Amino acid sequence: MELDQSNYLYLLFLLPILVAVFLYNIYWKRKKQREFGDLNLIARLSPERSVFKPILKLVVLLLAIAGLILGLVNPKIGTTMETVKREGIDIVFAMDVSKSMLAQDIAPSRLEKSKQIVSQIINQLGNDRIGIVAYAGSAFPVLPITTDYSVAKMFLQSMSPDIVSSQGTALDEAIKLSATYFDPKSKTSKLLVLISDGEDHSEGAQSVAADANKQGMRIVTIGIGTEKGSTIPLPTTTGQPNYQRDNAGAIVTTKLNRANLQAIAKATKGGYIDGNNTKEVVEYLKNTLNTIQKTEFESTQMANFQSQFQWFLGFAFVLLFLDLFFLEKKTTWLKKLNLFNDKS
């Protein structure tokens, strides 16, 4: 059994409060009756008044309120099973987390812009499975293939240059690791979304991409940065600005290498787009996904819990209806039975 709105269970605390109010009311009435006169005399003046009926009305009212509360909680039970078929594709996001992605020629930075883009793309997905790879001088698996988009976003926000020990940019390593995320025997369409500024310190990224294409992979590349380029700010504890420098001590300027990313995409008959405008990138990926064939990759048996609120509400309304007929005077036929020894 599962509860739809369990917070309403706190309303059950009203029941002991009502009982306390009822008992206090009896105490108050008895006190006032004693002030008025002798209790036995008062009882004789109202012989038809029942002692049991007020208690019965209280019990009925408490049960009705409990039924209304449980109706609001909406317990769900049942063992109905249904088959859920999902159709989609497998998508791996390979994100460049090298220090050059800290450049701020794209606000707020290339890395933060990459996170925004991937997050917005995930928001547009339906039944597709996704995975995340981080890379710099080497590639690092961040999240295996999953349909849990909330977990993917959580891992996405934690990505930084610190998660990869080897600096530089090795696009070939990113493609190789991403290829291992896909099942080579599966007929599910495979898409790699490679996000980078295009700087590459490896060799053979295009040939690795061509090999990946033979395995059924398609690569879409997103270029983050500008051709004018920018310096690379580094974290500092002194408050003074600090920038990445080369071996000669000169400040490094990092630029977008659009041609490199375009060549990788072309090797897999994929596509390239500048990542400066998030809305345009999301729309481009959305259109690309619409052109890729969806395949059934999962069939799951799920329990379909049935709502039971109607039974509790019906029970409550029946009790409230019956309560209208419970007067505080004694019932004639019940009085004849003398169940409570009312006759002296």
> Using one digit for the tens of pLDDT, what is the confidence trace for 152-182?
999 998 898 888 777 777 899 999 999 999 9
Q: What's the token pair of residue 113?
A: 């812009």
Over residues 33-58, the pLDDT tens digits come to 676 666 565 555 555 566 667 788 88
Q: In 10 A of CB 182, how many CB atoms? A: 22
Q: Which residues contact 215 (CB under 8 A, 6 or more apart)?
A: 179, 182, 184, 190
Mean per-residue pLDDT, 257-286: 92
Which of 217, 215, 211 has the alpha carbon at shortest distance from 191?
A: 217
Residue 320 and residue 68 in contact, taking contact as beta carbons nearer than 8 Å: no
Which of 97, 196, 188 has the alpha carbon at shortest distance from 147?
A: 188
At residue 184, the 3 state secondary structure works out as coil
Topology given in CATH for the domain delimited by 85-299: Rossmann fold (3.40.50)
Q: With 80 as the cut, is the pLDDT of residue 326 above it? A: no
Q: Name the pLDDT band for 344 (thresholds 50, 70, 90).
A: very low
The whole-number pLDDT of residue 180 equals 92
**CA pair distance 33, 38, nearest whole angstrom:** 8
The tally of CA atoms less than 13 A away on the side-chain side of residue 120 is: 17
pTM score above 0.85: no
Q: Where are the domains of the chain?
A: 2-74+308-337, 85-299
Residue 273 and residue 264 in contact, taking contact as beta carbons nearer than 8 Å: no
Percent of the chain residues past pLDDT 90, beyond the cut: 32
Q: What's the token pair of residue 294?
A: 């969806």
* Distances 112 to 102, 141, 321 between C-alpha atoms, Å: 8, 19, 63
